[in-house]
């Protein structure tokens, strides 16, 4: 976060990609602080109006880091004001770095930024409105590592309450992972649940209407044994492709549509 060379290196790379005629858009994958973001502890304590012990700055920097880490990782339930200010400050710095990069890069192509889905990214030092103001043309929201269908429904509601109409261009997407789809085989298969989550996010993430698009992550995961569970990678790919088709229909992309219906009394395989 405080490295002055990294924004310059990223800006130079993005500018080269943006100038390539074979590139349609450029992106930053999971743009956030690393390992808790504790390198910014002193800046946070000096900038934000948080209550701290009077002798805190007489202690070593390591002790200050330990103090902040204890409040935001162990005692955040009893120090909610401190915790929320810590989240806000991280997101603010992340957005500042993104703005610095976009201004330096002078991009000619749309910029997308990956961000975490839970609690609209706040626990990962991200904020969709700040990132949009900083220059992100679209936000690729990762619907990853959700422990239950109930948690997914709660995440959708968090986004719907936070992002209003035309405040951000959202592109939610899910990943090929049998475990994080609760090893589902019934009442629906895990790839079908991936399809359901992508379309649910597309329909309900924003109070202003449907999201700009969706994504599916990714070809390499579908090809690796251990991610797909009892379902072949092709089935996960078909689930993602079916979600894309549904989104295109929702946006009236197709000039023609067709449907096929079968009477319920017709036996399977007839």
Q: What is the pLDDT of residue 256?
A: 84
169 in a structural domain:
yes
Q: What is the CATH number of the domain that holds 160?
A: 3.20.20
Q: What is the pLDDT of residue 269?
A: 64
Q: What is the pLDDT of residue 37?
A: 86
At 232, give phi and psi (nearest 5°).
Answer: -65, 155
263 in a structural domain:
no
Q: What is the pLDDT of residue 143?
A: 96
Question: What pTM was computed for the model?
Answer: 0.89
Report the share of the chain in percent with pLDDT over 70.
99
The count of domains in the chain is: 1
246 in a structural domain:
yes
Residues with Cβ < 8 Å from 76, sequence gap 6 or more? Answer: 82, 83
Give pLDDT tens digits for 155-204. Answer: 999 999 999 888 999 999 999 999 999 999 999 999 999 999 999 999 99
Please state the rounded mean pLDDT for residues 233-243.
96
User: Cβ(156)–Cβ(141) under 8 Å?
Assistant: no
Q: Which two tokens stand for residue 168?
A: 């951000």
Q: Find the domain containing 104 and state its range.
A: 5-250
DSSP secondary structure code for residue 191 in this structure: H
Give pLDDT tens digits for 16-38. Answer: 999 999 999 999 988 888 777 89
- Cβ atoms within 10 Å of 109's Cβ, excluding its own: 17
* Start-to-end C-alpha separation, the chain: 62
269 in a structural domain:
no
Instruction: Quickly state the pLDDT bin for 268 (edges 50, 70, 90).
Output: low
**Residue of 92, 94, 121, 89 lying closest to 32 (CA atoms):** 94
Q: Which two tokens stand for residue 11?
A: 């800006």
Separation between Cα atoms, residue 232 and residue 210, nearest integer Å? 30
How would DSSP label each residue in 98-149? HHHHHHHHT-SS-EEEEEE-GGGGGGGT--HHHHHHTT-SEEEEE------H
Separation between Cα atoms, residue 2 and residue 100, nearest integer Å? 12
| 124 or 114, higher pLDDT | 114
Instruction: Quickly state the pLDDT bin for 245 (edges 50, 70, 90).
Output: very high
145 in a structural domain:
yes
259 in a structural domain:
no
202 in a structural domain:
yes
**Residue of 167, 197, 171 lying closest to 182 (CA atoms):** 197
Give pLDDT tens digits for 77-110. Answer: 999 999 999 999 999 999 999 999 999 999 999 9
User: Cβ(191)–Cβ(236) under 8 Å?
Assistant: yes
């Amino acid at each position: 976060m405080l490295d002055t060379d990294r924004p310059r290196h990223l800006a130079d790379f993005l500018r080269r990609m943006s100038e390539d005629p074979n590139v349609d858009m450029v992106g930053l994958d999971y743009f956030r602080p690393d390992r808790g973001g504790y390198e910014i502890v002193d800046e946070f304590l000096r900038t934000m109006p948080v209550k701290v012990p009077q002798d805190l700055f007489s202690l070593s920097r390591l002790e200050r880091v330990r103090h902040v880490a204890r409040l935001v990782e162990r005692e955040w339930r009893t120090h909610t004001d401190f915790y929320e200010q810590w989240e806000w400050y991280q997101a603010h710095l992340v957005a500042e770095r993104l703005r610095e990069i976009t201004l330096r890069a002078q991009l000619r192509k749309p910029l997308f930024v990956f961000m975490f889905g839970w609690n609209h990214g706040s626990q990962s030092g991200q904020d969709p409105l700040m990132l949009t103001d900083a220059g992100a043309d679209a936000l690729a929201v990762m619907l990853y590592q959700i422990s239950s269908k109930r948690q997914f429904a709660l995440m959708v509601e968090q986004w719907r309450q936070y992002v209003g109409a035309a405040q951000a261009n959202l592109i939610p997407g899910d990943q090929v992972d049998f475990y994080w789809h609760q090893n589902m085989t019934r009442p629906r298969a895990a790839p079908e649940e991936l399809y359901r989550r992508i379309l649910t996010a597309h329909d309900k993430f924003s109070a202003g209407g449907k999201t700009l698009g969706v994504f599916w992550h990714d070809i390499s995961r579908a090809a690796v044994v251990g991610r797909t569970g009892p379902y072949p990678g092709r089935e996960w790919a078909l689930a993602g492709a079916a979600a894309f088709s549904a989104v295109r229909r929702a946006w009236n992309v197709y000039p023609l549509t067709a449907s096929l219906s079968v009477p319920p009394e017709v036996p399977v395989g007839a």
